[in-house]
Amino acid sequence: MIQRYGVLGSGQVGQTLAKGLKKHGYQVMIGSRTPAKLAEFGKASGIATGSFRDVSKWAEGLVLAVGGTVAQQALEEAGKANLKGKLVIDVTNPIAKEPPEDGVVRFFTGPNDSLMERLQKAFPDARFVKAFSCVGNAFMVNPSFPAGKPTMFYCGEAGRRAAARAVRLRPGGHGEGDRGAGHRAPLPALVHSRDAGRQVEPRLPAAQDLRR
């Protein structure tokens, strides 16, 4: 079972998930391309900080929480050897630098392509699972909705069993995952479960703890 999570990314998403993981009992370290940027956050949160390489070498599992356009670069800085065999929860979205067109966000991937597939191909020894990319950081940890318990979709090839524990972010909430479903979706949708009134165990039992 994964106990040490490293978060790659110093923005609001990375900081939110780092604090959430710590809150729910994990050992956490957060990294940045410029570690000095995290000095204040580290002091206030009590979470260790370092470079992408420092974090990926220390961690048993990783959370990739950087901009989609620099996701591959961040993992390269982390080091391929430090990713080998490890779960990488991919929170990124392939949002292009160009502004929205007629209110529609642009992506730099095509209809038969996905950023996570690109990352898995570039780092074949890592175990990628997509999660958290469908909601804003305000709803990533201990979310509360009037309609009931939320469902967080997650998908990937080899790391789903480990990722499911980290995707459940509150008691009774549950994740739904399948290797094919939504694998190419640039922005997977968050939906309310039909089973909102009762606890449902995920089909694939490390982010489920954050939903408590």
Residue ranges making up the domain that contains 133: 4-192
* Residue 124 included in any domain: yes
HEC string of 19-63 equals HHHHHCCCEEEEECCCHHHHHHHHHHHCCEEECHHHHHHHCCEEE
Asked whether residue 15 is domain-assigned, the answer is yes
| Assigned domain for 207 exists | no
Backbone angles phi, psi at 74, to 5 degrees: -60, -40
Question: Is residue 203 in a domain?
Answer: no
Residue 134 lies in a domain: yes
Residue 206 covered by a domain: no
Q: What integer pLDDT is reported at residue 113 of this predicted model?
A: 87
Give the number of domains in the chain. Answer: 1
pLDDT at 30: 98
Say which range, 5-9, 40-44, 109-113, 162-166, has the weakest mean pLDDT.
162-166
pLDDT average, residue stretch 36-50: 97
pTM of the model: 0.78
**Does residue 171 carry a pLDDT above 70?**
no
Residue at 212 is within a domain: no
Q: Is 204 inside a domain boundary?
A: no
For residues 76-81, average pLDDT: 97
**For residue 21, what is the domain's CATH number?**
3.40.50.720
- Res 124 pLDDT > 90: yes
| Alpha-helix residue ranges (DSSP H) falling in the chain | 12-23, 39-45, 52-58, 71-78, 80-83, 115-122, 160-167
Q: What is the pLDDT of residue 138?
A: 87
Instruction: Enumerate the β-bridge partners of residue 150.
Output: 192
pLDDT over threshold 70, residue 3 = yes
Question: What was the pLDDT predicted at 153?
Answer: 72
